A and B are shown apart, each in its own frame.
Chain A
Amino acid sequence: MDFELSDEQNMLKDSVERFVKDNYSAEARAKLADTELGFSRDHWKTMAELGWLGMPFPEEVGGFGGTAIETAIMMENMGNGLVLEPFLSTVILGGGLVAEAGNEAQIEAIIPEVIEGNMMLAFAYAEPQSRFDLNDVETSASKSGDGYVLNGHKAVVYHGTTADKIIVSARTSGDSRDENGISLFVVDNNSSGVTRRDYRTIDGQRAADITLKDVKVGADALLGEEGGALPVIEKVVDRAIAALCAEAVGAMQAANNITNEYMKERKQFGTPIGKFQVLQHRMVDMYMEAEQSKSMSDMVAMKLELDDETERRKAVAAAKAQIGQAAKFVGEQSIQLHGGMGMTDEYSIGHYFKRLTTIEMLFGNTDHHFKKYAALAS
């Protein structure tokens, strides 16, 4: 057993840390979040050049064959600076689905482009009625000639605005909550029949609701086996959850550091507020939550590499549930300990609070994952 990083992994960590330090000061991040795009294409290029966009892909297609541990290292450090580029959407989710389910032609058409930084992806899985259930799919794909016709409404698609291609889950057979009958399709964002409603999210990112109306795709748009996509989706979403957990750890550590420093500087009643015992204990609780989360995040990254599916899914549910709770606590208390200062948009702590709040919800909130764990563990 070993929780230490290898030399190579340490280099990766240093490289992401440096990128964040150079590009993600609180002011720079606020500026970027407020642009139309919401992130920087230059940063995206840099990420491609540094090889990060190819990290999790197999070497045969030009990737680095990194594991979930490499992903976690990157995400944790990006979480530290609340990085805005669509790494999770494009590389882990979109790229992950293509690499996992795609045929040779699809992989060759998409993955090298992703690695080069030329193509962005998004995964449209949620629907207005689905809440967090990946099997709750009403969007339909009916056979038509050689291809399919897609109809439906996809909700809160993170980075759906800037994605060149959107991976859509749609039902090719069965009832709306059946586990069988779900298929994945690669849809060009500018296909006729695709209508997007773009908007901002509380964490300063961009998302879209996407309506598909008689969107025609060819047979080559089908990703993986018709009707058999759910296991692939679950696997890739589990990886995304593990990545989010690592991001949350980075964000919690940063929020704690900022708060800790503030408690040393801010004086009331003639003394630093960090001298008040009730606040010291609160800060210790926040620190402990972040430490517990770091352990869970490392644990889940290692378990993702195991073949035992039940073990993997239990680990993911447990990590997300624990980290979701911790993220809320740390986010809320960071604001509380700052007093009025924590309530301003100009100061960084509120942005950590907001990202941590969203992470708690994304891919299922704490309740959802406790339920899932209970079902798997019984």
Chain B
Amino acid sequence: MRTVKAEAITEALAKVAMNANYDIGSDMLKAFDEALAAEKSEAGKEVIRQIQENASIARRECVPYCQDTGFAVVFAEVGQDVHVEGNLTDAINAGIRKAYGEGYLRKSILNDPIQRKNTGDNTPAVIHYDVVPGDKIRLTYGAKGGGSENMSKQAMLKPADGLEGVKKFVIEAVSVGGANACPPLVIGVGIGGTFEKSCILSKKAAMRSPHHRNPDPFYAALEDELKDSLNKLGIGPMGLGGTVTVLGVNIETYPCHLVALPVAVNINCHADRHGEMEL
């Protein structure tokens, strides 16, 4: 049994979260270069150039890439042979508190959905735990902007709707909400599982690099096909019209019940801020 101190988790996560908000990361920068080469509309190109310049200012000056520094979403993979000295959930929230306070990030979290008072430190995070083999703790942090999250959708399709039904649902979700979600977008699609499982899968997919490919060739081909279809919508960067609406589509799947076909679409903006740490 390996022991990891709660404070070490807090410190490491705070660094990852601050840095993710300042430095959009090389995978996104590469995607912006590709987008500029692929975009045909003048307004679209102007938007992408602004996004690129924004990324370099944010990184150079250690200021947030976007003012909405998001809901902190953490996927925690906890090795079953790790003992945490202290409280893991508290340690994660302390890391978020530290990052948002010391890093001059915006605090956007309210204590209650109806009574709506700001908690003042951007906690609590939304944490998804998974127990895995091994003696390491792996945390994946994402800063999920509210504007793009609001455009996300879930449906319990009929099994008869099949693959075509899934494609139609994904395209419809982006067609309706894409322009308001700060395109170019990264689209996370979760297919299968139960109602809630599909949503969690779509979030995991949306936090991945737009260059990630599903290891199953069937789904990798579907990712490419959906990307092409979505770029044909014409929404373009910031919805001003153009040929680059999405930077990438990531699909995650899970087995499902014989009467069900759940599908969830989590929309991420070009401010797809994510980072990982392992202890």
Bound together: no
Listed in ascending order, the chain A residues whose CB lies under 8 Å from chain B are none
Listed in ascending order, the chain B residues whose CB lies under 8 Å from chain A are none
